[in-house]
Structure 1
Amino acid sequence: MTRYLISFDDGAMDHIPAEDMPDVGKAAHAVVQEAVNAGVWVFGTGLERQRASIVATDGTVTDGPYPETKEVIGGFVVLDVASREEALAWAAKIALSCRCAQEVREIMPDPETEAMLREAGRRR
């Protein structure tokens, strides 16, 4: 199985009227439940709008994101699926439920980190 990050930009749901948000929430949670039932759900959540901090290599902390940043992640899901095609199919379900486009990226496996997790008694 391969993990995929499915995400959308902050502000991508701004077109949705406030009175429609409960229905969007129900639809999104139905897709989450479907992914949980299918055994592919790893993690997912929305992110606080514009509540980022940038930590430099010297440890300096700056409130962010940078003003020139045009797009910031507004929410994401991590799924563990058999193929890119399956990830794209889940992204289509998420896009429909959230009423906004989704970006799909394969998460690169890291065998050394996986070995550390196994040694610590955690499973991927």
Structure 2
Amino acid sequence: MLFMLIVKASQNSESGNLPSDELIEAMTKYNEELVNAGVRIAAKGLHPSSNGIRLSFLKPGEKPMVTEGPFTETKELIAGFILIDVESREEAIEWAMRMPDPQGYGEGQIELRQVFEMQE
């Protein structure tokens, strides 16, 4: 079962503040544990939304409206993700619970979502 651990953006991540050395070390250790357990598929951080572009599909069949970042509502933004392949929802929750505060400032929030898998 594929799950995505979605790291929500914060004021710090949107400001481009880099994590502390301690947080980088903790996240490196966490990612190594995922790799060693054979469950990590991918893990990436994202640039702040000031480097982003949003496409809004307002009317069916018409071209989307293009908006350049930054986007002001940080609670709706994503700062990064980890994609894992586990045996159960419970195992995904266990891995999510082990992640260090991804923001390091007491602002961290992770959303755990199952990924649809296409049948072949």
Other-structure match for 1:6: 5
Other-structure match for 1:53: 53
Other-structure match for 1:120: none
Render the CA deviation track for 1:16-62: whole Å, top value 9, x for unaligned.
Answer: xx797101001101110111111100011111111221234515532
Aligned partner of residue 105 in structure 1, secondary structure: strand
Other-structure match for 1:78: 83
Which protein has the bigger helix share?
1
Answering whether residue 45 of structure 2 is matched by residue 37 of structure 1, we say no
Q: In the alignment, is the contact (CA less than 8 A) between 2:101 and 2:109 conserved in 1?
A: no
Whole-angstrom CA distance in 1 between matches of 2:10 and 2:74: 13
Counterpart residue type for residue 54 of structure 1 = R
Whole-angstrom CA distance in 1 between matches of 2:112 and 2:92: 7
* TM-score, reference length from structure 2: 0.74
Q: In the alignment, is the contact (CA less than 8 A) between 1:5 and 1:78 conserved in 2?
A: yes
RMSD between aligned alpha carbons?
A: 2.6
1:68 Cα shift? 5.3
Counterpart residue type for residue 78 of structure 1 = L
1:67 Cα shift? 4.2
Other-structure match for 2:111: 103
Aligned partner of residue 89 in structure 1, secondary structure: helix
Q: In the alignment, is the contact (CA less than 8 A) between 2:10 and 2:75 conserved in 1?
A: no
1:71 Cα shift? 2.1
Deviates more, 1:100-109 or 1:27-36: 100-109
Render the CA deviation track for 1:73-105: whole Å, top value 9, x for unaligned.
Answer: 1111000000111111111111x3534231100
Answering whether residue 86 of structure 2 is matched by residue 87 of structure 1, we say no
Q: In the alignment, is the contact (CA less than 8 A) between 1:44 and 1:78 conserved in 2?
A: yes
Counterpart residue type for residue 105 of structure 1 = R
**Cα distance change of structure 1 residues 12 and 44 upon mapping to structure 2, 3 Å threshold:** farther
* TM-score, reference length from structure 1: 0.72
Segments of 5+ residues of structure 2 without an aligned counterpart are 58-62
Other-structure match for 1:118: none
Whole-angstrom CA distance in 2 between matches of 1:20 and 1:44: 16
Segments of 5+ residues of structure 1 without an aligned counterpart are 116-124
